[in-house]
Structure 1
């Protein structure tokens, strides 16, 4: 995992984004937030499981489906299965010890 700090690459309202093998943060201080970094590590695992490009295709298509469903960009984002898994487990620092492969499927 490589860390990049750039306020220009992260959309307003967000703190970070993961594009394997990079975690891109808006501010350097956010690298010290264990919960945020765990959230981004979960995304790294998801991307590896789906071989990166299919992850982003699925992510984008599910975002569009959720946008039609909820008619709200924030709710659409929060209900993408990858985000649901990451938010549900970002505070569990032992999560990778018991996480099963393709665990995000429980959140579809």
Structure 2
């Protein structure tokens, strides 16, 4: 499924999945296949968790990681949903073959 991509110039990050839209900060990122695929993986995660629980789990996971790592970037990169998306953002067949709740295989944090 294709999701609408919207350019939001004031966005502080390159891309963001805000169901049912993919937001990008620059017009050129509309054609960034890796970024769009990364955000599409987040869309799958959001849909399978019925959107609101995804955002709650994402925030809780981030806060736990922040307490553990005491560093924003490390906390962010160890969010289970980000780990799945980064690991598979260049595998353009992943969203076609990905099973339900595959993010659970990324629960074990990196150091």
TM-score, normalised to structure 2, is 0.91
- Number of equivalences: 105
SS at match of 1:4: strand
Distance apart, 1:2 and its partner CA:
1.6
Structure 2, unmatched stretches of 5+, are: none
1:3 pairs with 2:2: no
Query: Which residue in 2 is equivalent to 1:49?
Result: 48
CA distance in 2, matches of 1:100, 1:88: 15
Deviations 1:43-98 (A, max 9, x none): 00000000000000000011000001111001111100000000000000111232
Structure 1, unmatched stretches of 5+, are: none
Query: Which residue in 2 is equivalent to 1:68?
Result: 67
Distance apart, 1:4 and its partner CA:
1.3
TM-score, normalised to structure 1, is 0.94
Kindly report the root-mean-square deviation, in angstroms, between the aligned alpha carbons of the 2 structures: 0.8
